[in-house]
Chain A
Amino acid sequence: MTALLQNVFAGLALGATYALVALGFVIIYKATGVLNFAQGGLLALGSYLGYTFTNSLAVAFGIAIVLACASAALVGAAFQRVVLTRMVGQPVFAVVMITIGLLFVLDPLVTAIWGFDNLQLANPWNIQRVVAGELVLGVRDLWSIGLTATVVAAFFVFFRYSRLGVAMRATAFDPEAALAQGISARRVFAVSWAISSALAALAGITLAAGPGGLSPAIGLIALTAFPAMILGGLDSPAGAVLGGLIVGLAEALTRGYQDQLFSWAGENVSVIVPYVIMVLILLVRPYGLLGTAEVRRI
């Protein structure tokens, strides 16, 4: 029982990170109708910037997080402004491919600047643990869950009550009608890229503060967040969070019980479990768990 709870906790912590990244995907998708493959690159960039702020510039950890998120947001918004505005009216495929291009540019850029070595991000959490009954909870995991919960809550409040949030929802719903109401679509697009990149940077830093440390492979987590987002539904923020948690739990549980239950499926089967779950769910619900079914009219 303790082992199970321990695995569930690990799954929640992992799922929280996925949820952050998936939420970033959904925000950009809702605003611009594009899937941002570069999220992984922005995540890596953000976490390495966090490393520079804490380790090289010796900024306090909390401030470093804010600075890294802000810089990532700036990069994301700049990319949207410089490149993607030229692509308005082009097919979705072309725009999606451009974000893949960006991913392949950011990745080598990060390794060119920071190298291939595994770096340790200076952080106050480290490997500290809290013991609750028989459970051993990592402080970083607790923070990761807490931060995600806060950000998600703040995000929902922002979307519901703030002027910009409502403008973003309106643009997502019908860009032309929103324009007619005097909403600047350009601003909404740039802001959604900024928010999404900041979320990616936050996810990257919480991940880099963990036992894995910081390595160029950190961006790969964004690829696992794809199933999380698709599973929840491309256009549903709540779905992204739900999908993130499901995928995180499933991955952690398969890893925890690899030897007892999943030895037949080969080593490291937990890596592909998110994709398998996604495929199975999509066969039953083609628009994800909470996504809006596309109405096709002649």
Chain B
Amino acid sequence: MKAAGTVSGGRPHRNLTRRYEQDLRLFGSPWSRAGLAGLLLTYLTLPTVLHDDFWLSVLIYAGITSIGAIGLNLLTGFCGQVSLGHAFFVGAGAYCASVVGGDLGLPLPLWLLAAAALGALVGGLIGPFALRLRGLYLAIVTLGLVFIGEHLWRNLDGVTGGNSGTSVTAAAVLGPLDFDALNLGGEQYSRNQGWFWLVWSLVLVTALLAKNLVRTRPGRAMQAVRDRDLAAEVIGVSAGRYKVGAFAVSSAIAAVGGGLFGTYQQFVSPDEWGLILSVQYIAVIIVGGLGTVFGSILGALFVGALPALIDRYSHAIPGVSAGVGGDGVITVFALNQMIFGLLIVGFLVFEPRGLAGIWLRIKAYFTGWPFSY
């Protein structure tokens, strides 16, 4: 028997959605399924092909940044709450991992969960402000959070080691897998190889979580709050609840990223959780694309890889010196900072939807082909 709507026995076009299950698929078309398979294959084989520690560590840092950026994108891109305090939550996660994973010696899942729980708790504490303040007032309060946090990190010597920082000794062990020295089927892998697999699997988990979150009722409610909170309340969305919730989820994810960051780096100091880190995360989601999950990952790869490249090839760029007091006109750090600035301005002026927007445009061109316009 022919299904309704099909003429002369031909298959319906692949873009035609006929069932709810089809509509719900994250990877619906054959092309996107092929893309997913390709990405998974790359994920599995990349560390065995690419042995260079430098490139692996760049990719690991980019992965960690992706996780934090997904968190910020949920809050800013999907719920419309501007936060300059992301660095604070990332820092809190790093110290939590240091205490739970390092000092108490608990395994990987536990210190990741502990970091997430702490992040959610601290993020929830911002709740009262998120409820009472709007827009720019809220942005400045979260800016204050960065400074108050920095003061805390410098003075809570017992946990953070004060100004001189502390080493993070948390172990990355999951059951039989020790990602610090991975041994699979008799083959010994380096720390960077193991961490690549660990971090990017967590990126996948976070991305799926976020993607599914924004497709469900809370996610749609968050987007309604972003578009116009008053209108959202009129249609029965409790704006306050979702604002506080978005803060909690976002900072929980940020804290997980922070925990990974601290543990991978094995050492953290209060200087790392400054305003520049917050701005870096904002640059990531703007460059990647506000309100898209995969944009956060694209942005993190782009913004994360750029400073590493500059650092590596600084000797080849005229006028750049490796540190203060060098020969060049501008230091690597200053150049990076400048590039963040230019990227933010450039993308907002010329491509406000970010890399994800460019990608979607290319995709739309080919999906609509030959009727692209």
Chain A residues close to B by CB (< 8 Å)? 29, 35, 83, 86-87, 90, 92-94, 96-98, 100-109, 111-112, 116, 223, 226-227, 230, 234, 265-269, 271-272, 275-276, 278-279, 282-283, 286-288, 294, 296, 298
Q: Are A227 and B129 in contact (CB under 8 A)?
A: no
Contact with A along B122-147 (1 / 0, CB 8 A): 00000011001111110111011001
**Which residue of the partner chain, among A92, A234, A272, contacts B151 with CB atoms under 8 Å?**
A272
Q: Are B144 and A278 in contact (CB under 8 A)?
A: yes
Report, nearest first, the 3 A-B pairs whose CB atoms are least far apart.
A104-B341, A266-B155, A108-B334
Q: Are B352 and A94 in contact (CB under 8 A)?
A: yes
Give B238 Cβ to nearest chain A Cβ, in Å: 16
Cα–Cα distance between A266 and B150 once the two chains are bound (Å) = 12
B348 beta carbon closer than 8 Å to chain A: yes
Q: Are A234 and B137 in contact (CB under 8 A)?
A: yes
- Number of A-B residue pairs with CB-CB distance less than 8 Å in the complex they form: 131
Give B107 Cβ to nearest chain A Cβ, in Å: 33
Give B337 Cβ to nearest chain A Cβ, in Å: 5
Q: Are B140 and A278 in contact (CB under 8 A)?
A: yes
Q: Which residues of B contact A109 (CB under 8 A)?
A: 338
Contact A283-B129, Cβ < 8 Å, known A104-B279, A108-B334, A108-B335:
yes
Q: Which residues of A contact B134 (CB under 8 A)?
A: 286, 294
Give A235 Cβ to nearest chain B Cβ, in Å: 10
Q: Which residues of B contact A230 (CB under 8 A)?
A: 137, 140-141
Cα–Cα distance between A94 and B80 once the two chains are bound (Å) = 11
Chain B residues close to A by CB (< 8 Å)? 76, 80, 82, 128-129, 132-137, 139-141, 143-144, 147-148, 151, 154-155, 230, 234, 275, 279, 282, 286, 324-325, 329-331, 334-335, 337-338, 340-345, 348-349, 352
Cα–Cα distance between A282 and B342 once the two chains are bound (Å) = 33
Q: Are A266 and B135 in contact (CB under 8 A)?
A: no
7 pairs of residues in contact across A and B, judged by CB atoms under 8 Å: A86-B349, A101-B341, A105-B345, A107-B338, A111-B331, A230-B141, A266-B154
Q: Which residues of B contact A96 (CB under 8 A)?
A: 82, 136, 139
Q: Which residues of B contact A271 (CB under 8 A)?
A: 147, 151
Q: Are A286 and B341 in contact (CB under 8 A)?
A: no
Cα–Cα distance between A86 and B144 once the two chains are bound (Å) = 30
Cα–Cα distance between A97 and B335 once the two chains are bound (Å) = 19
Question: Assuming A230-B140, A275-B143, A282-B129, what are 13 further A-B pairs, CB within 8 angstroms?
Answer: A93-B82, A97-B348, A104-B279, A105-B342, A106-B341, A107-B338, A108-B334, A230-B137, A266-B151, A268-B151, A271-B147, A283-B128, A286-B133
Contact A296-B148, Cβ < 8 Å, known A98-B344, A105-B345, A287-B137:
no
**B interface: dominant SS:** helix
Q: Are B334 and A279 in contact (CB under 8 A)?
A: no
Contact A107-B144, Cβ < 8 Å, known A101-B348, A283-B128:
no
Chain A residue at minimum C-beta to C-beta distance from B345:
A101
Q: Which residues of B contact A111 (CB under 8 A)?
A: 330-331, 334
Chain A residue at minimum C-beta to C-beta distance from B344:
A101
Cα–Cα distance between A226 and B146 once the two chains are bound (Å) = 13
Chain B residue at minimum C-beta to C-beta distance from A227:
B144
Contact A97-B286, Cβ < 8 Å, known A105-B341, A111-B334, A223-B275:
yes
Q: Are A269 and B144 in contact (CB under 8 A)?
A: no
Q: Which residues of A contact B147 (CB under 8 A)?
A: 223, 271-272, 275
**Which residue of the partner chain, among A90, A104, A265, A296, contacts B352 with CB atoms under 8 Å?**
A90
Cα–Cα distance between A92 and B304 once the two chains are bound (Å) = 26
Contact A296-B230, Cβ < 8 Å, known A94-B352, A223-B275:
yes
Give A196 Cβ to nearest chain B Cβ, in Å: 16
Cα–Cα distance between A68 and B151 once the two chains are bound (Å) = 34
Contact A107-B337, Cβ < 8 Å, known A83-B345, A96-B136, A278-B144:
yes
Contact A98-B129, Cβ < 8 Å, known A92-B136, A272-B147:
no
Cα–Cα distance between A265 and B230 once the two chains are bound (Å) = 40
Chain A residue at minimum C-beta to C-beta distance from B128:
A283
Q: Are A102 and B341 in contact (CB under 8 A)?
A: yes
Cα–Cα distance between A67 and B280 once the two chains are bound (Å) = 35
Cα–Cα distance between A212 and B338 once the two chains are bound (Å) = 26
Q: Which residues of B contact A100 (CB under 8 A)?
A: 279, 282, 341, 344
Q: Which residues of A contact B341 (CB under 8 A)?
A: 100-107
Interface centre among B134, B140, B230 (most CB of A within 10 A): B140
Cα–Cα distance between A108 and B155 once the two chains are bound (Å) = 29
Chain A residue at minimum C-beta to C-beta distance from B77:
A93
Cα–Cα distance between A23 and B251 once the two chains are bound (Å) = 33
Give B178 Cβ to nearest chain A Cβ, in Å: 38
Give A159 Cβ to nearest chain B Cβ, in Å: 22
Cα–Cα distance between A49 and B343 once the two chains are bound (Å) = 26
Contact A97-B132, Cβ < 8 Å, known A107-B334, A230-B140, A272-B151:
no
Interface centre among B330, B340, B344 (most CB of A within 10 A): B344
Q: Which residues of A contact B154 (CB under 8 A)?
A: 266-267
Chain B residue at minimum C-beta to C-beta distance from A35:
B136
Q: Which residues of A contact B128 (CB under 8 A)?
A: 283
Cα–Cα distance between A152 and B275 once the two chains are bound (Å) = 30
Q: Which residues of B contact A107 (CB under 8 A)?
A: 334, 337-338, 341
Q: Are A116 and B148 in contact (CB under 8 A)?
A: no
Cα–Cα distance between A226 and B144 once the two chains are bound (Å) = 9
Cα–Cα distance between A223 and B276 once the two chains are bound (Å) = 13
Q: Which residues of B contact A269 (CB under 8 A)?
A: 151
Q: Which residues of A contact B234 (CB under 8 A)?
A: 298
Cα–Cα distance between A252 and B151 once the two chains are bound (Å) = 17
Q: Which residues of B contact A86 (CB under 8 A)?
A: 349
Q: Which residues of B contact A93 (CB under 8 A)?
A: 76, 80, 82
Q: Which residues of A contact B342 (CB under 8 A)?
A: 101, 105
Q: Are B151 and A87 in contact (CB under 8 A)?
A: no
Cα–Cα distance between A156 and B151 once the two chains are bound (Å) = 37
Cα–Cα distance between A181 and B143 once the two chains are bound (Å) = 39
Give B240 Cβ to nearest chain A Cβ, in Å: 13
